[in-house]
Each structure stands twice: as structure tokens, then as C-alpha cells.
């Protein structure tokens, strides 16, 4: 069969709903195999909208719903959610230590898959519950005291910002907060304020890879290299880069990296990842010490995940999430996310007079998050109209970057993006205002 005929055959079978997907190893544990649309083989279907329609079909999203909030919470594909459900039922079927012993192997498979996804070694990966836990493990695990200094970004999430300030109150070190220019022309403009803030007293540079507040992507590789040359440790908050863009931690050169699986990684909820470079593991104190500490403390980053009873089904399904990304391809996902964001920015620029972007239009300084403001519109009311009238879900951004935040992922089509632009055009023509408060 020719490639084109095979492609047509696949699309015909997909439309008919007759393709099935295996859930191994979940089915190997006694789960019932389900009929799901099969993810197409990349040699049969090109990177066109038919392909991405097949990708969307991997998710249980309701028809007509346009979900633009991956920066907060993303759906899991059937491959992941079914695995979580099947493994959870497997525990409930028999919760003996003997039966649960299988989860150690599945957890190690997930660790290896995460390491491959992030460009790290398995012994450098701890499976945590979210970015918050990873950030706080680092914040509370580094030896700091009076005379020391930590440099942070004012756009950091509170877990990589307020957490440092709270610890500084207790231990007496200094926290220096850096502000970047709101309209940077190039990545070096973003790096300059951080480089100027570093001093001989600086022990840690703690930054965010991609800001959830503005959508700005920092030049992490350059900043980590500059810190390393000065003997400064680096923590990179990857909540908005883990799963959305290609991340190679060996290339970036940070000492620590934290991410959540429930956002762009589209993995099980309440699971996450913490990367601790081998050279830094001995000096980083664990935030929690629980059952398994004695065996974990000599096995790399595992000593940072002795957190007590875990959701074994969710932790094990992390491996399936990594498999899903690998099947599509990290580079392909990165390109698609940027393509969606670029089309969104372009459409809004061309059709909405007076729109203000907080996110750089240049993709070298941004990724999948797009934050913008409309003149005279109450943002909360605007988001409400988008949901109730257009079945579009987005987030409301506040503070210096007040506006609407759109974060499209691979389950969003170009047609969805165009519909979202149309909806924003309507908002701009008749901007909703805040309802008057009674009394």
C-alpha cells in the first residue's frame, strides 16, 4: 500500500471509530481493554490539521469546547487517565504488599522516561507532587545565612518567590528581586537586569523559565551559564515549560528544575518532577524524610521523594504521559504550541484595534502563553462572556499584566484559534464592564 493510500485508509478507519489502542502494561495487570482512537503513525499522516484532529481525539474533551488554559490545568489523554484508573482499581482489587510490589518497577520506568524527556539521568530525577513541592525542596534545602543573597525574578510564582522571602525572614539572608523591561526587543534585554544584580554575595539565582504572569520566556541557558561562571546555584521553575517546549537540562545547565505534570505535560494530577544535578545532591537537604529514606539517600534524587503514601496509579502513569509525548515528538509538540500561539497573536494584532500584548510577539521570547488586554473591558466579565457565549475557557491575569491569558495546547485546532480570535473581536466591539455592586 502506498503512503498516500495508507494515509487515506487510516483516516477512514479513524472517522469510523474502529481503531483501538492498547493500554499495556495496564491491561497486563488485568484491566479491560477499551476501544480508543489510535494515535496515527507519523509516517502515514503528516503534520496537517487531520493529524492534529487525530491527536485531539486522544482526549475526552467535549465537542465544541475550546480549552485555552493549559498554563493552569490540562486534560490527560485516554492513555494516561485510563492507566491511572486501571492501576487504581488494581490496588483496590488487591492491596497486598506482594501485589503492590509491581509499582516500584513502573515508578522506575516513569523516572527513566522523565529523564529522557528532560535530557537528564534517571538518578537526577525525583518524582514529586507538583512544582510547588519541587521549588520548596530547593528553597528549604540549600544552606544559607546572614550575608548571603538570593536573586529572584519579580514574575516568579509565589513558590519560587514568596517562599524565598519567608525563609529569609527566618535565616537572615537577603532576597533581591529583579524586574525585566516590559517591552524587551531581544533576549539579551531580559538577561541584562539579572546579570547586573549578581554580586559576590549571591549564592542562588532563582528564576522562571516561562512566566505564567506575562508569557515571557527568559534566556535560561545564558543566565545559568553566567551564574555557573560565578559559582552561583540556579533554580529554574519549569511549570510552564515542562511539556510545552523542548527542555534539555544538560544544555540549559541549571542545578535544579521543577515542574508539574498536570499542566502542559498532560499527565496525572498531583504528580511532578524535580531535577537535582548530581553534583548538587549531597549538599541539598531533603524537605521531608519518610519511609524509605535509608534506602533512597544513596540513590541520587530519590531521597527527595520519601513523602509517605503516594498515589501509585498516578505516579506509575507518568511513564505513559512521557510515552505520549515521545510518540508525537517533543520537537513536534514544541513547534505546534508555538504555531498556535503565533496564529493567535497574528489574528489579534490584525483584527483588534488598541489591543495591548503583555507577551512578546517574538517567539524567541515566548512560547504557548499569550496575555493581552482590551481597552475598557473588565477582564473577569470578558472571560465569563467567552465561556458562556463561545464555550471558550481562558484565565484572567492580574497585577502589572492585567488581561486575558490564552494558553492553547496540541488538542486545540487552528479552527479553534480562529474562533477564539472572532470571539475576542466581538468582545472588543462591545467590551463587558464589571457589574455594579449592590448597596
With beta carbons less than 8 A apart as the criterion, state whether 198 and 147 touch: no
Residues 288 and 318 in one domain: yes
Query: What is the model's pLDDT at position 3?
Result: 40
pLDDT of residue 23: 33
- State the average pLDDT over residues 283-308: 84
Residues 214 and 339 in one domain: no
Together in a domain, 141 and 241 = yes
Dump pLDDT digits (tens) for 42-99: 444 456 899 999 999 999 999 999 999 999 999 999 999 999 999 999 988 988 888 8
Same domain, 302 and 406: no
Give yes or no: residues 314 and 338 share one domain.
Answer: no
Q: Please give the pLDDT value at position 288.
A: 85
- Domain span at 381: 331-429
Q: What single string gives the DSSP state of each residue in 324-343?
A: HHHHH-HHHHHHHHHHHHHH
Kindly tell me if the per-residue pLDDT of 17 is higher than 70.
Answer: no
Q: Is residue 41 predicted with pLDDT exceeding 60?
A: no
| Pair 265, 413 in one domain | no
* pLDDT value, residue 94: 87
Examine residue 164 and state whether it is found in any structural domain, yes or no: yes
Q: Which of 200, 206, 284 is nearest to 238 (CA)?
A: 206
Residue that is last in its domain, among 325, 340, 371: 325
Average pLDDT over residues 168-183: 96
User: At 359, which CATH number?
Assistant: 3.90.1150.10
Helix (H/G/I), strand (E/B), else coil: 28 = helix
Q: Does residue 401 share a domain with residue 280?
A: no
Q: Residues 400, 256: one domain?
A: no
Please report which confidence band the pLDDT of residue 310 belongs to, taking 50, 70 and 90 as the band edges: confident
One domain for residues 357 and 259: no
Mean pLDDT of the residues in the chain:
89
Overall average pLDDT of the 128-157 stretch:
97
Same domain, residue pair 287 and 190: yes
- DSSP letter string over 158-180? GGGTHHHHHHHHHH--EEEEE--
Domain match, 292 and 342 both: no
pTM over 0.85? The answer is yes
Amino acid at each position: 500500500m502506498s503512503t498516500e493510500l495508507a494515509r487515506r485508509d487510516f483516516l477512514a478507519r479513524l472517522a469510523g471509530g474502529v481503531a483501538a489502542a492498547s493500554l499495556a502494561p495496564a491491561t497486563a495487570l488485568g484491566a479491560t481493554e477499551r476501544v480508543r482512537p489510535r494515535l496515527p503513525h507519523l509516517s502515514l499522516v503528516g503534520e496537517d490539521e487531520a493529524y492534529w484532529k487525530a491527536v485531539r481525539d486522544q482526549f475526552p474533551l467535549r465537542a465544541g469546547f475550546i480549552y485555552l488554559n493549559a498554563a493552569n490545568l490540562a486534560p490527560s489523554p485516554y492513555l494516561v487517565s485510563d492507566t491511572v484508573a486501571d492501576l487504581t482499581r488494581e490496588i483496590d482489587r488487591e492491596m497486598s504488599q506482594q501485589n503492590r510490589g509491581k509499582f516500584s518497577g513502573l515508578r522506575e520506568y516513569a523516572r527513566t522516561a522523565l529523564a529522557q524527556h528532560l535530557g537528564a539521568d534517571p538518578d537526577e530525577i525525583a518524582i514529586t507532587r507538583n512544582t510547588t513541592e519541587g521549588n520548596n525542596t530547593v528553597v528549604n534545602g540549600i544552606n544559607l545565612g546572614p550575608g548571603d543573597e538570593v536573586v529572584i525574578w519579580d514574575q516568579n510564582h509565589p513558590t519560587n518567590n514568596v517562599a524565598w522571602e519567608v525563609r529569609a525572614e527566618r535565616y537572615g539572608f537577603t532576597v533581591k528581586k529583579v524586574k525585566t523591561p516590559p517591552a524587551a526587543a531581544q533576549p539579551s534585554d531580559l538577561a541584562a537586569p539579572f546579570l547586573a544584580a549578581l554580586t559576590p554575595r549571591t549564592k542562588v539565582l532563582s528564576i522562571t523559565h516561562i512566566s505564567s504572569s506575562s508569557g515571557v520566556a527568559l534566556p535560561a541557558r545564558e543566565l545559568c551559564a553566567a551564574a555557573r561562571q560565578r559559582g552561583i546555584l540556579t533554580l529554574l521553575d519549569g511549570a510552564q515549560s515542562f511539556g510545552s517546549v523542548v527542555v534539555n537540562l544538560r544544555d540549559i545547565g541549571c542545578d535544579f528544575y521543577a515542574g508539574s505534570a498536570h499542566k502542559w505535560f498532560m499527565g496525572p494530577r498531583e504528580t511532578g518532577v524535580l531535577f537535582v544535578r548530581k553534583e548538587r545532591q549531597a549538599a541539598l537537604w531533603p524537605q521531608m524524610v519518610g519511609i524509605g529514606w535509608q534506602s533512597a539517600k544513596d540513590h541520587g534524587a530519590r531521597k527527595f521523594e520519601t513523602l509517605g503514601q503516594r498515589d501509585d496509579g498516578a505516579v506509575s502513569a507518568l511513564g505513559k504521559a512521557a510515552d505520549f509525548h515521545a510518540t508525537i515528538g517533543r520537537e513536534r509538540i514544541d513547534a505546534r504550541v508555538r504555531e498556535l500561539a503565533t496564529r493567535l497573536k497574528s489574528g489579534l494584532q490584525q483584527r483588534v484595534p488598541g489591543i495591548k500584548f503583555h507577551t512578546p510577539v517574538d517567539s524567541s521570547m515566548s512560547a504557548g502563553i499569550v496575555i493581552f488586554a482590551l481597552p475598557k473591558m473588565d477582564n473577569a466579565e470578558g472571560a465569563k462572556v467567552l465561556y458562556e457565549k463561545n464555550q471558550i475557557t481562558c484565565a484572567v491575569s492580574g497585577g502589572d499584566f492585567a488581561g486575558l491569558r490564552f494558553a492553547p495546547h496540541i488538542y486545540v485546532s487552528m479552527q479553534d484559534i480562529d474562533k477564539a480570535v472572532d470571539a475576542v473581536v466581538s468582545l472588543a466591539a462591545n467590551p463587558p464592564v464589571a457589574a455594579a455592586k449592590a448597596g
